[in-house]
Chains A and B, each alone.
Chain A
Amino acid sequence: MEKRPGLAERIRFLLRSLSLQGSWCFQHMQGLGFFYILSPWLAKLHPENPKDSLRRHTAFFNTNPYMASYLIGVVSRLEADGRSEETQGAKSALMGPLGANGDGLFWATLCPLSAVLGICMAFFSPLAGILLMLATFNAFGILTRWKLFERGYDGADKPLEYIVERKDRVLINKLSSVLTPLLGFLLGSVGMKTGIPGTVMAVFLVALGLTLRKQRTWPVLWTVITVSVLLGVLGLRMEMPWFPLK
C-alpha cells in the first residue's frame, strides 16, 4: 500500500490513458499504448531492472478506451505488489467483458444520448447544444477513467468483482430509457421546424425504419437522396432556413 500512486501520479496516469489508442494496429491493437501508459510506473517500481516487467506489457491488448483504466489500475497494483505473474491472467479475463460493457455504455448509449441532447438544445442555441453534448459525454468519460483506475488499484485482489456487480449494464438500461423519449421529441421537433406535414413524415419514417431494421444505412440514404432530388426537380420545397430558432 505504501506505493499507492499520489494525486500527481494519478493525473499523469489519466493523461497518458487518453492516448491508449495512439498507435492502434491490427496485430497488437492497443498493445503499444498499454505499454506507454504503464512504462513510467514500471520503471519507478523496478529502477534497477525495468526490462522484464516492461516486456510483459507489450503483448496484444484491446478493450474499450474508457474502461481500460480499470485494467491499468489492476495491473499497476499487481506489479507494485510483486504479483506480476497474475497480470496476464487478469488482462485476458477482463479485456473482453470490459470491452463489451464499455462499448455498450459509451459508443452505443452515451454517444447517441449526448448527441441527441445536444441537437435538441441546438434548436435554441447551437453553442449551448455543443457544450451540452460535450459536457454530458465527457462527464461520464473522464469520471470513468478517473474512478475506474482507483477502483482497479484498490480492488486488484478480486479483479472480476467489478464485472460481477453489473453496474455498467444497469447504467446502460437506465440511460437507454432516457434516450427513447428524446428521440421522439427530436423527431417531433424536426417535423415542426421543417414544416413537413406530420402524417407524410410518419409514413416516410415507418417505411424507413422497416428498411433500416437490417441497419444498411447507405442504400437507404442513396434512395432517399434520389427521391428527394426528383421531388426537388418537380418543384417541391421545404422551409429554409429552419434552423436554428432565431
Chain B
Amino acid sequence: MAVSPLAVVVTGFLGGLLSLDRTAFGQFLLSRPLVSASLTGAILGCPYQGAFVGVSLELLFLSSLPVGSFIPHHPLYPSLVAVAAFVALDPSRNGWEMVPPAILFALPSVWADRLVEDIWRRSNDGLLQRAEALIRLEKIRLARALHLTAILRAFVLNTAAILLCAATLSGLAVLVLRSIPSLAGALALVGMAPLLVGLAGLSAAKVKGRGWLGFAGGLAVGLLFWSVI
C-alpha cells in the first residue's frame, strides 16, 4: 500500500484534459465518470475496477445537471481521484475489496471541483473588456487569442487541482487503511450506496404519472432477464 507518484501525475494530466470537455471545450460527455474513470482505470492497469467506479459515480451524479449559469456538483474529480486512490490502496490492481474505500475517500474532492470551476469562471471576468479594447485597436487576432487563453487556464488549473486532490486523498486513504486494516471489510457495503442513492434520486425526479407503469415493466424485465441468464 503506497501512493504511486506516476499514477498521480497521469491522473492529473488526464484530468486536466478531460475537465476541458465539461465546460470549456466540446461537451462530448467525456468528463462523465463512466468515461473518465474507465479511461483512467484502463491507463493505470485496472479497467474493470475503473468501470465500476464509473458506473457508481455516474448514477450518483446523474440528477445534478448544469442548468443556465449554475455550477452543479460534478463527478469528474471524484471519479479520477477514486481510481488513483484504488491504485494506491491495492498495488496489485486486481482485487475488489479496496474499491469502496477508494470511492469513499475520493468523494470530498467534489468540493474542490466546484471551487476550481468557480475560481476559473471568476478569473475570466475582465477578459471581455480587454477584448473590446483590442478590437478598438483593430488587434482582432489578439482579441480572439484571449478566448483561447481562458481554455488554456482551465487546463492548467484543473491539472494542478486534480494532482493535489489525488495526492492528498489517496495518501489519506493509505494512511487510514494502514492503521485500521479491518476498515476495508466494514466499508464493503458503501460500494452500493452511490448506486442506490443515484438510482433512487433519478427515478424520483424522472418517473411520474404513467411513467411508473413503464418503470415497473422495466424492473420486471430486469429481474427476469438476469435470473434466466
A–B in direct contact per CB < 8 Å: yes
Chain A residues near B (Cβ < 8 Å): 18-19, 21-29, 31-33, 35-36, 39, 43, 50-51, 54-55, 58, 62, 65-66, 99, 103, 107-108, 111-112, 114-116, 118-119, 122, 126-127, 129-130, 133-134, 137-138, 141, 176-177, 179-194, 196, 198, 201, 204-205, 208-210, 212-213, 215, 217-218, 220-221, 224-225, 228-229, 231-233, 236-238, 240-241, 243-244
A176→B211 CA distance, assembly (Å):
9
Q: A183-B207, A209-B203 are known contacts; what are 14 more A-B pairs with Cβ within 8 Å?
A: A23-B146, A29-B69, A32-B150, A35-B143, A55-B132, A58-B132, A99-B68, A185-B225, A186-B218, A189-B225, A194-B192, A220-B201, A225-B104, A231-B189
- The smallest C-beta distance from A203 to any residue of chain B, in angstroms, reads 12
A243→B191 CA distance, assembly (Å):
12
CB neighbours (8 Å) of A111 from chain B are 29, 32, 62, 65
CB neighbours (8 Å) of B216 from chain A are 184
Given contacts A182-B218, A221-B194, contact A115 B121 (CB under 8 A): no
A-B pairs, top 9 by smallest CB distance, nearest first, are A188-B222, A184-B218, A23-B150, A181-B218, A192-B226, A208-B200, A25-B124, A126-B51, A184-B219
CB neighbours (8 Å) of B27 from chain A are 18, 21, 65-66, 141
Complex partner residue of B127 from A23, A107, A198, A241, CB under 8 angstroms:
A23
The reply to whether A185 and B219 form a contact with Cβ atoms under 8 Å apart is yes
The reply to whether B97 and A129 form a contact with Cβ atoms under 8 Å apart is no
A33→B147 CA distance, assembly (Å):
7
CB neighbours (8 Å) of B204 from chain A are 208-210, 212-213, 215
The reply to whether A58 and B227 form a contact with Cβ atoms under 8 Å apart is no
22 contacts between A and B (CB under 8 A): A19-B24, A25-B121, A32-B147, A35-B147, A51-B136, A115-B29, A115-B34, A115-B62, A118-B58, A137-B29, A141-B28, A180-B214, A183-B199, A183-B203, A184-B217, A193-B226, A208-B201, A209-B200, A212-B197, A229-B190, A232-B188, A237-B185
Query: What range describes how many residues of B lie at the interface?
Result: 35 or more
CB neighbours (8 Å) of A51 from chain B are 135-136, 138
Complex partner residue of A122 from B51, B62, B96, B154, CB under 8 angstroms:
B51
Per-residue A-contact encoding for B127-160, CB less than 8 Å = 1, 0 else: 1100110011010100110111011001000000
The reply to whether A240 and B62 form a contact with Cβ atoms under 8 Å apart is no
A181→B210 CA distance, assembly (Å):
11
The reply to whether B222 and A112 form a contact with Cβ atoms under 8 Å apart is no
- The smallest C-beta distance from B209 to any residue of chain A, in angstroms, reads 10
The reply to whether B195 and A28 form a contact with Cβ atoms under 8 Å apart is no
Given contacts A25-B121, A112-B206, A229-B187, contact A217 B147 (CB under 8 A): no
The reply to whether B140 and A50 form a contact with Cβ atoms under 8 Å apart is yes
Complex partner residue of B222 from A54, A134, A187, A208, CB under 8 angstroms:
A187
CB neighbours (8 Å) of A208 from chain B are 196-197, 200-201, 204
A196→B62 CA distance, assembly (Å):
23
A36→B226 CA distance, assembly (Å):
51
Complex partner residue of B200 from A126, A127, A212, A243, CB under 8 angstroms:
A212
CB neighbours (8 Å) of B168 from chain A are none
- The smallest C-beta distance from B208 to any residue of chain A, in angstroms, reads 9
Most buried by B among A112, A181, A236: A181
The reply to whether A185 and B218 form a contact with Cβ atoms under 8 Å apart is yes
The reply to whether B140 and A21 form a contact with Cβ atoms under 8 Å apart is no
- The smallest C-beta distance from B61 to any residue of chain A, in angstroms, reads 8
Complex partner residue of A188 from B26, B54, B186, B226, CB under 8 angstroms:
B226
A210→B200 CA distance, assembly (Å):
9
CB neighbours (8 Å) of A138 from chain B are 28-29
A65→B216 CA distance, assembly (Å):
35
CB neighbours (8 Å) of B127 from chain A are 23, 25, 32
The reply to whether A27 and B128 form a contact with Cβ atoms under 8 Å apart is yes
A137→B214 CA distance, assembly (Å):
22
The reply to whether B218 and A36 form a contact with Cβ atoms under 8 Å apart is no
A209→B198 CA distance, assembly (Å):
10
